[in-house]
Structure 1
Amino acid sequence: MLDVNCIYVNYNSATFTIAAISSLLEKTSDTVVYEIIVVDNGSAYEDYELLKTSLEQFNSSAIKIYRSRINTGFGAGNMLGVNFASPSKYYAFINNDTLFTQENTLLDLKLFMDATPDAGVCGPQMMSENGDRISSIDHHATPMRQLLKRDFLEFINSNKYPKRKKEYAKPVACGFIPGSFMFVKTSSFDKVGGFDSALFLYYEESDLCLRILKKLKEKTYHYPAQQYIHYQGKSTEKNVFVKLEQKLSFLYLTQKHHGRFARAFMHCFFTIKYALSSPFNSKKRQMFMALWKGGAIDQSLRCKQIIQEK
């Protein structure tokens, strides 16, 4: 059995994926037994060809690449990678727009998880490309967090809601860690069914960590001793459709964990919020119209994907 199975999802960003995997190979020693699974998630064929050819040049038997002809989203893309992965003790779900910066990050995370029985997930400290520290912990995506905001929750109960902007010297339990680098116990991941593929984009990590906590009583830890660079937003184009996807995902997650009444309340809240600002902003007007129609799943980006010819 492998120690770690590293899973990357590429979508029209081969140059980032190549750099990410190169950094992993450079910074990881033979003291940890690992495999790298790369899923091309319906990229343009030229991008896939560049990726495939470049990975072959690494001449590493540890790297395997698979192609989906349609963009299945973050969660389903990673689940496709899991489907092809060899048995391992841990999964490392790593965004393709990241870089390893320290030696033996995978080994260090493995040793921490081995020594922490109540840990189901952990993740290192995220850094910007300029070397700035980026918040690497968050609180579960709930209606309370949406309405009261993170800072207030941290103010009234910092034990339950650890401060996101604080610099930690030791591991700290939190709601969830960024999906850009999630180190997950395989047995725990499998027991809860992995990522929810109904979420096309956003909140997959919050949902996974919450289900592992609820079902298995295992916590998520921020592990600050290890760091990595994340080129935030480079793999996902920001536009009104992506912003809408965030709201659709939140509404789905709210109903899943808190029920239909909570979902209906949050839908009304978002609809009124964008109605008030829509006369002055065309993008917010688009958001309002989509929510006015019910925020239905058929408005998801999942339903707008085109199957690649090859």
Structure 2
Amino acid sequence: MNTIAVILINYNSAKYTIDCIKSIWDKTSSDLDYEIIVVDNKSEMDDLKLIDSFINEEKKSNLKLIKSQINTGFGGGNMIGAQVANAKYLAFINNDSIFINDCLSLLYNAMEANENYGVCGPKAYKEDGSILPTLDHYASLSKEFLGRSLLEKINPEKYPNRKKNYINHQKGQFVSGSFMMLRAIDFWNVGGFDTNIFLYHEETDLCKRINSLNKYSYLIPEAEFIHYHGASTPKSIAIKTELKLSQLYVIRKHYGYFKFKFLLTFFQLKYFFSSIFKPKYWSLFFVLIKGAHLSDSLKQKQTTK
């Protein structure tokens, strides 16, 4: 059994994936037993050939590629990788990431020393060197209507400042899905990622369930990496729609129908008026007015072709 299984999702971004793998090899201690599992989420053929050729040429026993026959999304792709992993810890890392130092060893050491550390993530930087928040606050009505900054001022213990340059380990509500490590036994004990969610809010949902084990999310600031934020998921109205569907799903799952319905009504009104001035929002409004059902998720539009 390996100490850590690193799981990367590739979707039409093989160059990022290859650079990420090289940075892991370059920065990770040779004393650490780890494997890297790349799950290709039905990329275009040219992109798949690029990552396939790279892995075949390297011929490393701890590097493997799994080719999904359909795009299963973030959570679904990671679940494919997790099911073939053979390790004590699972590290889910966005492929548009570059290690600055030995993140895997630093996170591993922190978690081995602290049993109540349920999910850990390193300090993240944007390409320009500015801090990209690792910790965040659960999806909630308070977060939606009051905003992160006000919550952090009202109750800094419950809502720690996301943008602060922490030096010591810092507890938060959840760790960004761009880089999160947790014990495999905890991951499976709570059921892993909820594959009803195609994209966004998967880490909110997972960390909230890990918290039910009386284990918590922590930033480990001595571990550092660069995240080319959003490089693997270009923005579009379809992606924004998916974000709202996932948010509403998580709210209903964890807080109940009334709060879901309240937020849905707010979004319906908000995007009705937004659509008047920005017609590109009409498609989002129509999905919301139909009830924001997961049948409108991008997950339902994936094919093997």
Q: TM-score, normalised by structure 2?
A: 0.98
Distance in 2 separating the partners of 1:267 and 1:230:
32
Q: Which runs of 4+ in 1 moved over 3 A?
A: none
Q: Which residue of 2 aligns with 1:230?
A: 227
Residue 158 of structure 1 is matched in structure 2 by 156
Q: Which deviations, in whole Å up to 9, do the C-alpha atoms of 1:124-161 show, x marking residues without a partner?
A: 01111122211221001112211111111111100000
Q: Any gaps of 5 or more consecutive residues in structure 2?
A: none
- Say if 1:122 and 1:222, in contact at 8 Å, map to a contact too: yes
SS of the equivalent of 2:177 reads coil
Residue 43 of structure 1 corresponds to 43
Mapped contact 1:43–1:69 kept (Cα < 8 A): no
1:91 is matched with which residue? 90
CA distance in 2, matches of 1:61, 1:2: 12
Name the residue aligned to 2:177: 179
1:112 matched to 2:110: yes
How much has 1:58 moved relative to structure 2? 2.2
State the 1:59 CA deviation: 2.6
Cα deviation per residue 1:154-190 (whole Å; 9 max; x = unaligned)? 1110000001111111011101111110011111111
Match of 1:26 in 2: 26
- The one-letter code of the counterpart of 2:6 is C
Corresponding letter in the other structure for 2:291: G
> d(CA) in 2 for partners of 1:297 and 1:210?
21
Deviates more, 1:282-291 or 1:259-268: 282-291
Where does structure 1 lack aligned partners over 5 or more consecutive residues?
A: none
Contact 2:131/2:163 (<8 A) preserved: no
> Does the residue aligned with 1:8 lie in a helix, a strand or coil?
strand
Tell which deviates more after alignment, 56-65 or 115-124.
56-65
- CA–CA distance in 2 between the matches of 1:177 and 1:237? 22
Matching residue within 289, 293, 303 for 2:290: 293
- SS of the counterpart of 1:49? helix
1:104-253 → structure 2 map (5 Å cutoff): 104-214=102-212, 216-253=213-250
Name the amino acid aligned to 2:145.
L
Following the alignment from structure 2 to structure 1, what is the Cα–Cα distance between the partners of residues 280 and 180? 33
Q: Distance in 1 between matches of 2:16 and 2:234?
A: 14
Q: CA RMSD in A?
A: 1.0
Deviation (angstroms), 1:285: 2.4
The correspondence for 2:278, drawn from 259, 277, 281, is 281
Q: Is the contact between residue 31 and residue 107 of structure 1 (CA under 8 Å) also seen in structure 2?
A: no
Task: Read off the aligned partner of 1:112 and give its amino acid letter.
Answer: A
Per the TM alignment, residue 284 of structure 1 is displaced from its structure 2 partner at its CA by 2.2
Contact 2:7 2:81 in 1 (8 A): yes
Note if contact 1:4-1:33 (Cα within 8 Å) is conserved in structure 2: yes
Deviations 1:87-128 (A, max 9, x none): x111010111101111x2211111100001111100001111
TM-score (norm 1): 0.96
Which residue identity does 2:198 align to in structure 1?
A: F
Deviation at 1:26, TM superposition (A): 1.0
CA contact (8 A) 2:122 2:225 kept: yes
Q: Deviations over 1:14-38 (max 9, x none)?
A: 1110110011011112211001111
Alignment of 1:59-98 (within 5 A): 59-86=59-86, 88-98=87-97
* More moved, 273-282 vs 242-251: 273-282
- Provide the secondary structure at the position in 1 that maps to 2:136: coil
- SS of 1:165's partner is coil
Q: CA deviation at 1:85?
A: 1.1
Q: Deviations over 1:272-293 (max 9, x none)?
A: 1111221110122222122112
Matching residue's letter, 2:273: L
Deviation of 1:50 (Å): 1.0
Aligned to 2:255: 258
SS in 2 for 1:89: strand
CA deviations over 1:29-81 (Å, ceiling 9, x no partner)? 22110011110001112211110101222231110111001100000100000
Tell me the residue number matched to 1:54. 54
- CA contact 1:95–1:180 (8 Å) conserved in 2: yes
Q: What is the CA deviation profile of residues 222-274 of structure 1, one whole-angstrom value per residue up to 9, with x for unaligned ones?
A: 11111101111111121001000000001110110011111111110100111
